[in-house]
Structure 1
Amino acid sequence: MKSYIFVFCLLLSLTTGQNASGESFHIPINPGRGNWTAAYAKAREFVCQLTLTEKINFTTSTGAGSTTGYDIGIVPRLGFRGFARSDGPVGVRGTDYNNAFPAGLNVAATWDRELMYTQGHAIGMEQKGKGFNMALAPVVSPMGRNPTGGRNFEAYSPDPYLSAAAFSLAVAGMQDAGAIAVGKHFLLYEQERFRYPGNDYGIPDPDNVTMPYSANCDDRTLHELYLLPWYDAVRSGLAGVMCSYNQLNNSQACQNTRLLNDILKGQLGFPGLVLSDYGSQYSGVLSALSGLDQATPGDALHYSPNPEPGISYWGPNLTISVLNGSVPEWRIDDMVTRVMAAYYFLGQDHNYPELNAGGGFQTYGYMYPSAMLDYTQINFHVDVRDHHAGIIRKVGADSVILLKNVHATLPLKPEKIKQIGIIGQDAGPSAQGPNGYADRAGDSGTLAMGWGSGTANFPYLVDPLAAIQARALRDQTVVQYVLNNSAADAIDAIAEQASACLVFANADSGESYVSVAGVYGDRNNLTLWGDGDALIKEVAANCSNTIVVIHATGPVLMEEWIDHPNVTAVLFAGLPGQESGSSLVDVLYGDVNPSGKLPWTIAKNEKDYGTPIIPYPSGPTPQVNFTEGLFIDYRHFDKDGIAPRFEFGFGMSYTSFKYSNLVISGPSNSYSVGRPSPTRTVNGSVCASRKLNPSDYTFPATVSSITHYIYPYIASNATISTPGVPTATASIVAVQPPAPPGGDSSLYDILYTVSVDVTNNGSVAGQEVAQLYLDLGNGEPPRQLRGFNKMMIQPGETKTMVFELKRRDLSIWDVVSQAWVDVTSIGTTVGVHVGPSSRNLPLEGKIPGM
């Protein structure tokens, strides 16, 4: 019997597939939500009641540190309390009585659509339970162009298909729970270094960097690689998008009209709101015309040494921009309509909980901290954990990747293992406690979460040592341990006595607003921290049964010890969250047969990846050139014939599987009629026009100004010039009425089905992830993931796995026609490959070109 209780609450997803038990399930496009057309109708009715200054309140937050509660969209006249937001990739940030979930990399490593949705739903429930309207999650960018990227762990995989599945299902789950999902970061946010000026990043003359780095990428790569997950998320109902810190092709992401207006709101048909990351807005009029809808935190912060709080590009300046004709009022209407449409789409107008958390753990505090005003209760300590610990444990266990297992070392058999040695700092608790470092910016004790804004407070953390000791007590196994990586004599003594030595090591990374051990977000290399490689070799030299467990934010190099004859098993456990030790014990003892698969490649040499982080700036605006195009991670290894240590999609089991009987059916005769992109217009007014009188928008005598608080009112002596409407407004996208999101609907037609039989040849039940790859020719990567299924198969049982190939799966982006082109329609024969990993594909077939 499994040592956890886990209940799926599936309403769910995006497609038809099979769950881990092998049962068919169907996930509708918009489960548990309304529809955009109805939401827009309600939003327009609401917006037309607002004055100009009330509309501006929906575009501009009240300022960094100005409030611990609702900070945008406040309309006292109508009793509208506004919006509250929280970070949330692994749970609600900065509160108590919440859960700490596994990282995105672990979710991807499960290759399990049910778990992708279920964790998203649980996080959304906790966000709603705390009263946050918007969850700044999930994360799909960075995708992991370089394995040392500091925030890769928040997202899923450098493969766009796997990322699309995880991202869109997390969105569906969070929004089914009622919270507005704000996907981030849009787009090409692939390194931490130089994301904004003002940080030293550990380099000489950091002040010479005056602008964020520019990620320079061609149009085809942009669409086929980095945009692909966003198509699926928008189609799944994504209501919010956060634009990123970096520039794209030397245009700031939050004021890039090609990216926001033409592509996101145009090609993808995105009907929701675009908000800036914390301080990523670099202009007023230009960002308004280029597609930004909401400024966070409202201040014009660029992380300079002395930022001026309360000074905004928008706020009163946006009011002036409307009054002088720089920004048409219909654009303001569009901004607010998008915000309120998201609100109505998620049904937040019906019994949505009021915000009950703010300002950390203290019960009482100032509602306006900068001004030290309104001392009141700001935290009601609402417990939102529910029964989500079972989900966390399940995701943690199913994401463990077994990389080596000689002599059937695992699972551990108590009758054969009389004494266990547990070695390494990463095995035990931190002396600081699980939340001892702000935003987890420290590496002490076991690593279960990276650092940065995408963190949550642990309600507890089950470390591996505690979990193994509890199991050993039941089995009457002796357990000895050393948690000091440098205590060589003590380590040797334990290693020589133990029947099995479990050695733990880790590698950490995070967001660049803080550095840890000389790491400014992005890892400096792919080696283990705390002399982990030396520790493993020390143990292996003295213990003939050395089992290595890695907790890390991404791939690590293993060449120093992976082939050591005494290293009998290797497990990669990622960042499993609060149930870390419990999940690991489930796998170590065979209560759970490992089924995790690598969501990226583990190389033999860091240079083999071919996409280094830019460590030093080339000028005031560092240039990061994506010259590799489509060829990142396994695509690059395949193209250049580089042998990895462990390939993308690899993961072992305690049983074995055989693949047979590949059948390709199709093409389907059912085709949808493609739809055009949403209408572009230079007059998207939804409300009756009116004459604007500047004197109506000055600071009211009845309102007392709060320090550092951003208001929409203009000064009585403000200059209202009339520069005329810039020509850039011609590219603004106003969706009236909103088109079905996700791009051309014909892209989602199912053209072919592929089926294979998978047989469990072993003696224990296990889950297998079958993977389908296509060779599309036309300069494309030789193998691209275009399908996966995960099923539980009993010993001796054969199950049929079915993959559905959509038109988009067979298409490439044509830069001339600016459209997706099905390669079979232009005569290309497509290769089909199916197997358990990207380099173990025993079944092959072809789809002939037409």
Structure 2
Amino acid sequence: MRLFAPLCCLAAVSPVLGQFGNNGAPFPNVTYRTGVSPNPAVVLGAQSNQISPPRYPSPWGSGEGEWADAYVKAREFVGQLTLEEKVNLTTGTGWQLESCVGQTGSVPRLGFRALCLQDSPVAGLNVAATWDRDLAYARGEAMGLENRDKGINVLLGPVAGPLGRSPEGGRNWEGFSPDPYLTGQLFATSIQGIQSTGVQACAKHFIAQEQEHFRQTPEARAYGFNITEPGSSNIDDQTLHELYVWPFADAVKAGVASVMCSYNLVNQSAACQNSYLLNQVLKNELGFQGYVMSDWQATLGGVSSVLAGLDMTMAGDIVFDDGISYFGPNLTIAVLNGTVPQWRLDDMAVRIVAAWYFVESDTKVTEEPNFQSWTFDTFGSTHFHVGPQWGTELVNQHVDVRREHGALIRKIGAESTVLLKNNGALPLTGKERLTGVFGEDAGSNPLGPNGCRNHNCDTGTLIVGWGSGQAQAPYQVSPDTALQNEVVSHYGSYESITNNSAITQIAALARRTNDVAGVCIVFANADSGEGFVNIENNFGDRKNLTLWQGADAMIGNVTKNCNNTVLVIHSVGAVELEAYKQHPNITAILWAGLPGEQSGNAIADVLYGRVNPSAKLPFTIGKARSDYGTDVLYTPNQPVPQFNFQEGVFVDYRAFDHRNLTPTYEFGFGLSYTNFTYSDLTITKLDAAAYTPTTGSAEPAPTYGSVDKDPSAHLFPANITRIPLFIYPYLNSTNLSTAYGAAGYGDNTFISEGALDGSSFAHTPSSGPSGGNAGLWDPLYKVCVSIANTGAVAGAEVAQLYVSHGGQYDPVRVLRGFEKVFLGVGEKKQIEFVVRRRDLANWDTGAQDWVVRDGVKVVAVGASSRDLSLTGTLE
């Protein structure tokens, strides 16, 4: 067991091109676009055993801009705290020992309660399919209100990591899209919606945790994989910035209160103690003013993590319920023996308290937690894990905080349903002579909507994936229920079979439906989730991109007997649909994602035309799994598994374009019940100041209050009742070399050069408070287009703007704008896109800055990434 020791030695590596490692590696048996080949420097930077360079000291928060008032209050508050009280703010109390999934220590004498942290992301993927910033904000606000009324301070979401490098990634559905621009926009507006309620958002997972396999050593070993450390995502610096960091810059710009670091290593250094990522990229370049918390059990060292920029450890213990922490009393010891300077602890505390003030938690979150995460019982153990002998009380008040959010859930469900194919079959009338519904995915789980813990089964209709991103459903409207209600309300005929193995009965009903010219509606799904759950050897990540529940055979049975079959897919991402796209008896295909509790009502709204589909795919659906050029590493390639991101920025549609492959359905694609035309593209160059790289250095690190260096002053108080396994900040001995097993009293030989230096740190060229250098956000161009509804039905269209940077190793095009517009029949409107400096820039690894390179920049606007009817050139 390593207490306050470094995870691995961090060799000093100069910041040269390729130091990080991956992009554009050659794929076998494919044709690249003429004149375009993989970037050798990026490939070189994504080899196994790449090393992350050290960056110290950890930048202290400046409290500039919109954070200024919060920092004034936080500094005054922290100045009143004792050493133990500061440590308490940074340390979780231990797994299952308090009400919330994570809970910090408190400062009772000053009225600062423990922070309650709770899982909350659910399915961002469906929000992405709406391409609607307003809906993203409304969902964030609704989630914030519900969490606030439960007494929760920190909502553990939204998600931009995983971004979605590989379509098989188990937790892709928690986030938004493999496109960083789309993710960044919806990430930011979700955060603003959450924090408008006084609840802190936590942007996660930072960074490059793109698969569940090998994310944690004990978890992998339980599955029979003999690894020694979590897997290492090996990434070159350009790819890191242009793809994976991009949406986190949007989050910081939006004022996100906290960021969660991930389980994986990045270039051989744990993400939660990677000084390049936390100190350099997040806190220096992006100017992040909030605090960094670990994922649960992702803290792999003490002093090493603190000095590398980690501010809070969760759930507090090293291994769940071992009663030991890398922080807690060991952080107290580290400050006393000088291996952590006081200014660093003070900065940790200030960041945590400033975030609390920044979102106005002090006035908006007035409820204490009125629930317990570990049981639904009304009464139970106060400290769940250690049992009733340490107290019992009312643990669940069963407060209903939902308001009328079901209407919003239904709206998002309908507006995120992508119409992929329609040969005139839709919309339905509800008066069809016979409606036959087929598939296990149409029906309810016979064990109830929450019959499988953490939704760790695929039984009945799929409304959410499994793991910590799921939520308990207060009810579930299945497609079978909603469609039956729809048909019966018109006194029509309706029959359903929700057993995929009922071969004879399915064939008979499909044949009878066909004979009377009715409609057959088939439901199928594909599931995934967090790595601690294994469903049929899908260890979080999917093994393939095929449908589950034996759906392919069931679909074949229906389509063989019914020539008007509508296929509805509930899935966590892409599935193989090429055969169904080409099938003459499949007259319509809809992708409905993970729509939640209102699933059936939402799909009924679309099928029967109450909602005209406007959703667009937030990912690409390829013809074959191999088309994506990326995949999950399923078998360890070393004792520390190496994930070599050699495709670089060429993920999803960028990979298909780069490799000259035609997908089944492209990124941004989605049909409507009406038609739209684009015209009148104009480009206006805006007046903007020249970009000026940031220079200079920070003022010396401040400290607040003083620390009594006498160990006896920090022993357990005599009047405290010590709960077993609870993490306290106090010492059990005045001998610092033996207290809590901390080895190497006063040993600082492993501490990197400059890590203890609070005199100053140099600002990076791209740095600036809350989002980086302000010049990166300057508008450079305004692009306007007109869109007209030329069909017979009112509807909304999502216009998309793409930019071609023009460089030798750049993607064909990248998304850099989208606007959703509602148009009545015959109506025409003009929409406007703003192109900012960062939209045209590339990351220069030598300059360590964003640079708009010379060359022609082309913009294209249209209905999808491959349906771009208007183009223009930027000066």
**Residue 51 (str. 1) matches residue 121 (str. 2):** no
Aligned equivalent of 1:723, options 729, 747, 751? 747
Match of 2:218 in 1: 198
Tell me if structure 2 keeps the 8 A contact 1:261–1:732.
no
Q: Deviations over 1:403-446 (max 9, x none)?
A: 1101x10000234x111000000001110110001111011110
Distance 1:835 1:85, change over 3 A: same
Match of 1:745 in 2: 774
The amino acid that maps onto 1:199 is: E
Match of 2:257 in 1: 239
The amino acid that maps onto 2:154 is: M
Match of 1:38 in 2: 69
Match of 1:549, SS?
Answer: strand
Cα distance in structure 2, aligned partners of 1:735 and 1:387: 50
The amino acid that maps onto 2:433 is: K
Tell me if structure 2 keeps the 8 A contact 1:118–1:173.
yes
The amino acid that maps onto 1:776 is: H
Aligned-pair distance for 1:719? 2.9
Aligned-pair distance for 1:296? 0.2
Q: Deviations over 1:261-294 (max 9, x none)?
A: 1110000000001000000000010001000000
Match of 2:616 in 1: 597
Distance 1:313 1:786, change over 3 A: same
Cα distance in structure 2, aligned partners of 1:281 and 1:719: 22
Cα distance in structure 2, aligned partners of 1:315 and 1:84: 17
Tell me if structure 2 keeps the 8 A contact 1:533–1:561.
no
Tell me if structure 1 keeps the 8 A contact 2:166–2:632.
yes
Match of 1:813, SS?
Answer: strand
Match of 1:81 in 2: 113
Cα distance in structure 1, aligned partners of 2:850 and 2:372: 46
**Residue 486 (str. 1) matches residue 516 (str. 2):** no
Match of 2:566, SS?
Answer: strand
The alignment of Structure 1 onto Structure 2 pairs a total of residues equal to 790
Match of 1:35, SS?
Answer: helix
Cα distance in structure 2, aligned partners of 1:314 and 1:472: 60
Tell me if structure 1 keeps the 8 A contact 2:99–2:369.
no
Match of 1:355 in 2: 369
Distance 1:792 1:731, change over 3 A: farther
Match of 2:298 in 1: 280
Cα distance in structure 2, aligned partners of 1:49 and 1:679: 28
Aligned equivalent of 1:328, options 312, 331, 341? 341
Cα distance in structure 2, aligned partners of 1:214 and 1:731: 29
Aligned equivalent of 1:829, options 856, 863, 868? 856
Cα distance in structure 2, aligned partners of 1:157 and 1:739: 27
Match of 1:9 in 2: none
**Residue 660 (str. 1) matches residue 692 (str. 2):** no
Cα distance in structure 2, aligned partners of 1:159 and 1:514: 27
Match of 1:198, SS?
Answer: helix
Match of 2:204, SS?
Answer: strand
**Residue 180 (str. 1) matches residue 200 (str. 2):** yes
Cα distance in structure 1, aligned partners of 2:383 and 2:682: 64
Match of 1:134 in 2: 154
> Gaps spanning 5+ residues in structure 2: where?
1-63, 738-744
Aligned-pair distance for 1:82? 1.5
Distance 1:671 1:838, change over 3 A: same
Cα distance in structure 2, aligned partners of 1:395 and 1:578: 11
Cα distance in structure 2, aligned partners of 1:614 and 1:573: 28
**Residue 400 (str. 1) matches residue 417 (str. 2):** yes
Tell me if structure 2 keeps the 8 A contact 1:210–1:620.
yes
Match of 1:10 in 2: none
Cα distance in structure 2, aligned partners of 1:171 and 1:733: 34
Match of 1:66 in 2: 97
The amino acid that maps onto 2:354 is: A
The amino acid that maps onto 2:129 is: A
Cα distance in structure 2, aligned partners of 1:79 and 1:115: 36
**Residue 787 (str. 1) matches residue 807 (str. 2):** no
Describe how 1:549-564 pairs up with structure 2 within 5 A: 549-564=568-583
Aligned-pair distance for 1:517? 2.3
Cα distance in structure 1, aligned partners of 2:666 and 2:653: 7
Tell me if structure 2 keeps the 8 A contact 1:679–1:733.
no
Aligned equivalent of 1:686, options 703, 726, 751? 703
Tell me if structure 1 keeps the 8 A contact 2:507–2:561.
yes
**Residue 669 (str. 1) matches residue 712 (str. 2):** no
Match of 2:829, SS?
Answer: strand
Cα distance in structure 2, aligned partners of 1:202 and 1:423: 38
- TM-score between the two structures when normalised by the length of structure 1: 0.90
Aligned-pair distance for 1:691? 4.5
The amino acid that maps onto 1:452 is: G
Match of 2:810, SS?
Answer: coil
Q: Deviations over 1:568-611 (max 9, x none)?
A: 00000000011101110000000000011000100000000010
Tell me if structure 2 keeps the 8 A contact 1:289–1:728.
no
Aligned-pair distance for 1:692? 1.6
Match of 2:843, SS?
Answer: strand
Distance 1:690 1:523, change over 3 A: closer
Q: Deviations over 1:46-76 (max 9, x none)?
A: 1111111111111111111222258313112
Q: Deviations over 1:361-413 (max 9, x none)?
A: 2111122123321211121111110111111111100000001101x100002
Tell me if structure 2 keeps the 8 A contact 1:266–1:733.
no
Cα distance in structure 2, aligned partners of 1:622 and 1:295: 24
Aligned equivalent of 2:462, options 430, 440, 447? 447
**Residue 545 (str. 1) matches residue 564 (str. 2):** yes
Tell me if structure 1 keeps the 8 A contact 2:712–2:734.
no
Aligned equivalent of 2:874, options 835, 847, 850? 847
- TM-score between the two structures when normalised by the length of structure 2: 0.88
Describe how 1:164-313 pairs up with structure 2 within 5 A: 164-200=184-220, 205-206=224-225, 208-301=226-319, 309-313=322-326
Match of 1:585, SS?
Answer: helix
Match of 2:582, SS?
Answer: coil
The amino acid that maps onto 1:833 is: A
Cα distance in structure 2, aligned partners of 1:557 and 1:659: 31
Match of 1:529 in 2: 548
Cα distance in structure 2, aligned partners of 1:578 and 1:679: 52
Match of 1:791, SS?
Answer: strand
Match of 1:468 in 2: 483
Cα distance in structure 2, aligned partners of 1:812 and 1:800: 30
Aligned equivalent of 1:386, options 403, 407, 426? 403
The amino acid that maps onto 1:51 is: T
Tell me if structure 1 keeps the 8 A contact 2:711–2:736.
no
Q: Deviations over 1:492-532 (max 9, x none)?
A: 11101221000100000000111112211000000000121
- Pick which of 685-694 and 771-780 moved more: 685-694
Percent of aligned pairs with the same amino acid = 47
Distance 1:700 1:549, change over 3 A: same
**Residue 625 (str. 1) matches residue 644 (str. 2):** yes
**Residue 815 (str. 1) matches residue 841 (str. 2):** no
Match of 2:630 in 1: 611
Aligned-pair distance for 1:153? 0.3
Tell me if structure 2 keeps the 8 A contact 1:265–1:733.
no
Match of 2:48 in 1: none
Aligned-pair distance for 1:678? 9.1
**Residue 340 (str. 1) matches residue 371 (str. 2):** no
Tell me if structure 2 keeps the 8 A contact 1:411–1:590.
yes
Tell me if structure 2 keeps the 8 A contact 1:34–1:346.
no
Tell me if structure 2 keeps the 8 A contact 1:678–1:739.
no
Match of 1:30 in 2: none
Cα distance in structure 1, aligned partners of 2:321 and 2:369: 28
Aligned equivalent of 2:429, options 382, 402, 413? 413
Tell me if structure 2 keeps the 8 A contact 1:269–1:678.
no
The amino acid that maps onto 1:559 is: E
Q: Deviations over 1:461-516 (max 9, x none)?
A: 11001101111111121001111101111001110122100010000000011111
Tell me if structure 2 keeps the 8 A contact 1:653–1:766.
yes
Match of 2:444, SS?
Answer: coil
Cα distance in structure 1, aligned partners of 2:430 and 2:108: 66
Match of 1:562, SS?
Answer: helix
Distance 1:180 1:734, change over 3 A: farther
Q: Deviations over 1:689-713 (max 9, x none)?
A: 4542111111222212211111111
